């Protein structure tokens, strides 16, 4: 029987509560190790449409934004992989049949994690690796500057949820850089049913596009910037990802009103994105310093999640 302690971060903690059925219709936040929280959710019978993970990257450094802000220890790659493997093994149990797993990493661990996921879910469940390229200060002089993260996307099955309409950028903007196009070489024509289309002629053939439908995104994203130190979205917590990135991922990979889980929630960007898009969110982080940051960000969205800690398993 799995159990957790219901926790009021700002008040008197009421003691033990036992849960044996999946939660529905509530946003939840766990202070606990990803493996403990993941196992608890599996035992409780919860499943999610989207499982996003942005674990430490294996830098072997303490990650800190400001002296006053939160910090966490980022382990060396070997220790990261050891920690991650059993968490990733829970993915098939945590996902709905059409559920998807997104794992956000950089050059240090992504190759090893790709092999792990091929082993756990099967290479045929691999869908894409999204390259998120950002412009940030600092240039390398002895090698190419490292300016991208990788987001691996796997399905539990072979056809995970993917909202093609959400996965497109407006036709009047550059799909790569997001900037408005100066002029369009597409003509506007009227179809037999009276609808307006954009038309382009190539090799004697005319191609028609629905102007509302947008241009399908490729797997290289360069139109979302990283959060610089003075960015208004910034909270005093390291490795915070931009809301625009998480809103895009949640909008594409989680069906409307679906459930999103982030076991390495950090400052809570995934949870904020999910709430904004009307999804039900569950988050967890092992670092007590992350919790008030997440709560403050969710409060700004009008949400108070149920909080739990000391997740345990009476085997």
Ligand X SMILES: C[S@@+](CC[C@H](N)C(=O)[O-])C[C@H]1O[C@@H](n2cnc3c(N)ncnc32)[C@H](O)[C@@H]1O
Question: Which residues of this protein are in contact with ligand X, per CB under 6 A?
Answer: 33-34, 54-56, 72, 83, 237, 239-241, 263-264, 266-267, 269, 285-287, 290
Least separation in angstroms between residue 270's CB and ligand X is 6
* Cβ proximity to ligand X, 33 vs 118, nearer residue: 33
* Cβ proximity to ligand X, 106 vs 172, nearer residue: 106
3-state secondary structure of 54: coil
* Cβ proximity to ligand X, 46 vs 186, nearer residue: 46
Least separation in angstroms between residue 33's CB and ligand X is 4
For the record, the structure tokens of 297 come out as: 């960000």
Least separation in angstroms between residue 70's CB and ligand X is 8
CA distance 91 to 84: 11
Least separation in angstroms between residue 267's CB and ligand X is 3
CA distance 256 to 308: 26
Cα dist from 27 to 24, 272, 311, whole Å:
9, 11, 17
Positive or negative, the Cα torsion across 214, 220, 223, 229? positive
Which residues have CB under 8 Å from 126's CB, separation 6+? 114, 117, 118, 152, 153, 154
Residue 112, φ and ψ in degrees, nearest 5: -65, -40
Which single residue brings its beta carbon nearest to ligand X? 266
Positive or negative, the Cα torsion across 61, 64, 67, 71? negative
CA distance 222 to 212: 22
Least separation in angstroms between residue 245's CB and ligand X is 9
CA distance 11 to 229: 32
* Cβ proximity to ligand X, 204 vs 232, nearer residue: 232
CA distance 160 to 252: 11
Least separation in angstroms between residue 215's CB and ligand X is 27
* Cβ proximity to ligand X, 78 vs 97, nearer residue: 78
* Cβ proximity to ligand X, 72 vs 214, nearer residue: 72
């Amino acid at each position: 029987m799995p159990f957790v302690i219901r926790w009021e971060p700002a008040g008197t903690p009421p003691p033990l509560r036992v849960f044996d059925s999946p939660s529905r219709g509530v946003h939840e936040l766990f202070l606990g190790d990803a493996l403990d929280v993941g196992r608890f959710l599996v035992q409780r019978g919860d499943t999610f449409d989207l499982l996003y993970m942005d674990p430490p990257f294996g830098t072997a450094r303490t990650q800190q934004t400001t002296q006053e802000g939160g910090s966490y220890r980022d382990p060396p790659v070997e220790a990261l992989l050891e920690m991650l493997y059993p968490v990733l093994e829970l993915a098939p149990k945590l996902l709905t049949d059409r559920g998807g797993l997104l794992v956000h990493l950089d050059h240090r661990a992504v190759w090893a994690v790709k092999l792990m996921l091929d082993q756990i879910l099967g290479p045929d469940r691999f869908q894409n690796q999204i390259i998120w390229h950002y412009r940030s200060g600092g240039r390398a002089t002895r090698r190419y500057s490292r300016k991208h993260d990788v987001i691996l996307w796997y399905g539990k099955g072979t056809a995970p949820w993917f909202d093609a309409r959400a996965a497109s950028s407006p036709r009047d903007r550059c799909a790569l850089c997001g900037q408005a196009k100066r002029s369009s070489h597409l003509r506007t024509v009227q179809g037999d049913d009276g609808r307006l289309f954009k038309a382009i002629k190539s090799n004697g053939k005319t191609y028609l596009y629905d102007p509302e439908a947008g241009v399908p995104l490729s797997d290289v994203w360069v139109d979302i910037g990283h959060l610089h130190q003075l960015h208004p979205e910034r909270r005093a917590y390291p490795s915070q990802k931009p809301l625009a990135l998480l809103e895009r991922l949640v909008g594409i990979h989680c069906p409307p009103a679906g459930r999103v889980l982030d076991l390495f929630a950090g400052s809570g960007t995934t949870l904020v994105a999910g709430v904004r898009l009307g999804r039900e969110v569950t988050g967890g982080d092992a670092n007590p310093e992350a919790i008030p940051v997440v709560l403050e960000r969710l409060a700004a969205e009008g949400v108070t999640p149920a909080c739990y800690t000391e997740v345990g398993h009476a085997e």
